[in-house]
Amino acid sequence: MNPIELSFEFFPPKTQEGIEKLRVTRAQLARLNPKFVSVTFGAGGSTQQGTLDTVVEMAREGLLAAPHLSCIGSSKDSLRAILNEYRTQGIRHIVALRGDLPSGMGEVGELRYASELVSFIRTEFGDWFWIEVAGYPEYHPQARSPSDDMANFARKVKAGANSVITQYFFNADAYFRFVDDARKLGVDVPIVPGIMPITNFSQLMRFSEMCGAEVPRWVARRLEGFGDDRDAIRAFGLDVVTGLCQRLIDAGVPGLHFYTLNGAAATRAICERLGAATA
Ligand code: FAD
C-alpha cells in the first residue's frame, strides 16, 4: 500500500517506436500501483484515435485508464460520438478540458469552456463517468484576474466534476492558497497537485512559458548553470521535485499526478525516494 495515491499522465505516441517505448514506460510505472493513468488529447481531435487506442490498450492491461477530452474546436456530435465509444469500451474515468486551439486553427466549436463540457457530459451520460477537471494554482494564463479565474474554476467543478488535477507548479504556497480559496468558494472535491519532474532545462522553460507555471529564479539559474551536464540537471531536478512532493505529502494532499512525458525514470526516482511501494 502506497502512503500516497499516484496517477501518471502520458501522451498518445505517434510512431511505432513511441508505442513500444510507452509500453516499457508504463510497465515500469505500473509497478508503483497507480490509482489511474491518463492519456492526453489534442484539441480539435488531432489525437482522437491515438488517445482511444492507448487508453484501450492500458485498460486491457488492467490499469484504470482515463482519456483526456477537450471540447474546443469540436461539435457536440463529435464529442458525443467519442464519449459513446468510451462508454462502449467500458471506460468510466475522464479528464474534461477546454483545450487550446493550435494557432491558425479556426473554429472554437459548440462548447467554449470546460464547464460547458462537464455539463454536457452530465446531461448526456449521467453519472457514467468520473470527471476530473484542471485547476491552476498560479492561475490560467488567459484569466482576466485571479478572482475571475477562481470563480470560473468553482463554476466548472460545480457543473459536475468529481476531482481536480492541477497544472504543475514549483511553489507549494501557490497550491495551498489555491486550495484554501477553492474551499471558500464551496469546492469540496479532492484537488490533486500535478507534478512535473525536471529533466531538461530548455524544455521546462518552454512548457512553463506556455502554460503559465513559474520556475523559481533560483531553480532556473541553477539548471542553466549546469549547461549540457544532463546528469547534474537530473540530480538537482530530483532533489527539487522530491522536496516539493514531500512538502505536499506532509500537508496531506489527496494524491500526486505526474506529468511523465512518456518516460519512467524521473517519475520512478521521485516516487521511490518518497517511499512509494512497488509491486
Ligand atoms: P477552462 O476551465 O474552460 O478555462 C479556460 C479559461 O477560460 C480560463 O482563463 C478561465 O478563467 C476562463 N473561463 C472559464 N469559464 C469562463 C466563462 N464562463 N467566461 C469567461 N471565461 C471563462 N490540453 C489539451 O489540449 N489536451 C489535454 O489532454 C490536456 N490535458 C491537461 C491536463 C491537465 C491536468 C491540465 C492542468 C491541463 C491540460 N491541458 C490539456 C491544457 C488545457 O487544455 C489548457 O490549459 C486550456 O487553456 C484550458 O483548459 P481548461 O479545461 O482548464 O479550461
- What's the pLDDT score for residue 102? 73
Give yes or no for residue 50 CB within 6 A of ligand 1.
no
> Is the pTM here over 0.95, yes or no?
yes
Span from the CA of 97 to the centroid of ligand 1 (angstroms): 5
Give yes or no for residue 115 CB within 6 A of ligand 1.
yes
- What's the pLDDT score for residue 39? 98
Give yes or no for residue 142 CB within 6 A of ligand 1.
yes
- 132 is annotated as an active-site residue: no
Please say whether the structural domain 6-273 has been given the CATH code 2.70.210.12.
no
Which ligand 1 atom is nearest residue 151's CA?
11
Q: Residue 211's CB: how many other CB atoms inside 10 A?
A: 15
User: 100 or 187, which is more confident?
Assistant: 187
- Domains of the chain, residue spans: 6-273
Instruction: List all residues 6 or more positions away from 167 whose beta carbon is below 8 Å from its beta carbon.
Output: 134, 135, 136, 137, 138, 194, 211, 212, 213
Distance CA 271, CA 214 (A): 23
- What's the pLDDT score for residue 196? 98
Q: Are 36 and 93 in contact (CB under 8 A)?
A: yes
- What is the average per-residue pLDDT within 84-105? 91
Whether 38 has a pLDDT exceeding 80, the answer reads: yes
